[in-house]
Structure 1
Amino acid sequence: MKLELQAKFLQHLNRKQSDKGFTLIELLVVIIIIGILAAIALPTFLNQTAKGKQSEAKNTVSAVNKSQTAYRVESTAFASDMSTLSLGLPTQTTNYTYAVSGSTETSTVTGEARDASLKGYSGANTRYTDANSQSAIASVLCENLAPGTGTVTVPTTNALATVVAAAASCPATAKTL
């Protein structure tokens, strides 16, 4: 009996080794599952690359806003161009073109997208006198609601305001960050 068991076991092992590989149906199921996962992940991945590129503009506009505030505290007017602020930031990159303007009471900075899939960014500073007759500076950072390479809408500034919310605000086509 022992010999018969050994023979059957050897036959079983021999058959098992000849059944190596996958069937066509198994391969098709795996390919379909991979295709579905790729279709789900691809749009998310593409959004993440756009967000990464947009963070460049968000950081640059924010840095210029902060630098303008510091510059205005030390000077009688906001800086009228990027080089006056001495930030070492370029006025044009692969993804964005930046523009800075300033006067005695207000300053603006825009980051216009050079790629239609990216959103534009803008910022503004306004020097105003608050309810206690103290000089203050309001800053705002805006993100366009829709992506595109068109003109970036500049925030609204009001040097005659007495509260921060009225001194600088984003237009209807942008959201405040």
Structure 2
Amino acid sequence: MKTEFKAKFIQHFNQKKGEQGFTLIELLVVVIIIGILAAVALPSLLSQANKAKQVEARNNIGAMNRAQQAYNLEKPGFADAIGKLGLGIPSATTNYTYTIDGGGSASSAANNLATMKDEKLKSYRGYTFTVDVTTDNITEKVTRAIVCESEKPNVDTVAAVPDDGSGKCGGNDVKLGE
């Protein structure tokens, strides 16, 4: 081998030794930055998971309210059991237990309840009721429905809705819609 080639070959290996990798301080800085980012993002992600679970209950209570209104059009009163609504909603899921309070052939209102199973979730009440509406001296019965959400998580039931036809949620609960 030529001596010039040997010298360049040895220089190449000597330069490689100078570029061995990251220092301990550089690695520590990267780990600290990743830790800070995780600490900021984790609570946000956990709350999003609970919100997604609560959407299940809101959707099911809304469907139960609409089914109660349809039931009332076909038969007098409201359904007193989930199976009579024909929705296919189970009475219990991983996150909630669903029940109907009230209802029956002589009833003018029904409460559709979603009771949370996890203390981090909110409970829901769907209230379906009839009111008399008078237009041009003609009175007719109209069904209305509202959905109420518990003010805070870890509350087993939502306060009863006033039976005055006002369509307001009871206590400090939040009205989500009609």
TM over 0.5: yes
- Percentage of identical aligned residues: 40
Q: Please state how far the C-alpha of 1:8 moved relative to its aligned partner.
A: 8.0
Correspondence for 1:137: 143
Q: Distance in 1 between matches of 2:22 and 2:15?
A: 13
How far apart, in 2, do the equivalents of 1:64 and 1:16 lie?
Answer: 74
Q: Report the Cα offset of residue 10 of structure 1.
A: 7.2
| TM-score using structure 2 length | 0.84
Shift of 1:172: 3.2
Tell me the CA shift for residue 9 of structure 1: 10
1:84-163 paired onto structure 2 within 5 Å: 84-100=84-100, 101-103=102-104, 104-132=107-135, 133-159=139-165
Corresponding position of 2:36: 36
Which residue does the alignment assign to 1:162? Answer: none
Asked whether the 8 Å contact 1:157–1:169 carries over to 2, the reply is no
CA distance in 2 between partners of 1:113 and 1:43 (Å): 21
Given that 1:109 and 1:124 are in contact with CA atoms closer than 8 Å, whether structure 2 keeps it comes out as yes
- Give how far 1:158 is off: 2.3
- 1:45-93 CA deviation, whole Å, 9 max, x = no partner? 1111111111111111111000000000111111111111121111111
Kindly indicate whether residue 175 of structure 2 is the aligned counterpart of residue 172 of structure 1. Answer: no
TM-score by length of 1: 0.84
Structure 2 unmatched ranges of 5 or more: none
Q: What aligned pairs does 1:11-90 form with structure 2 within 5 A after superposition?
A: 11=11, 13-18=12-17, 19-90=19-90
Given that 1:114 and 1:149 are in contact with CA atoms closer than 8 Å, whether structure 2 keeps it comes out as: no
Kept in 2: contact 1:65–1:109 (CA 8 A): yes
Distance 1:126 1:142 in 2: 14
Distance 1:127 1:15 in 2: 89
Question: Would you say how many aligned residue pairs link Structure 1 and Structure 2?
Answer: 166
The one-letter amino acid of 1:125's match is T
Residue 97 of structure 2: SS of its match in structure 1? strand
- Distance verdict in 2 for CA 1:64–1:10, change over 3 Å: same
Give the gaps of 5 or more residues in structure 1. Answer: 160-165
How far does the alpha carbon of each residue in 1:128-156 deviate from its partner, in whole angstroms, 9 at most, with x for none?
Answer: 11232232111101111100152332323
Q: Say whether the 8 Å CA contact 1:64–1:109 is kept in structure 2.
A: yes
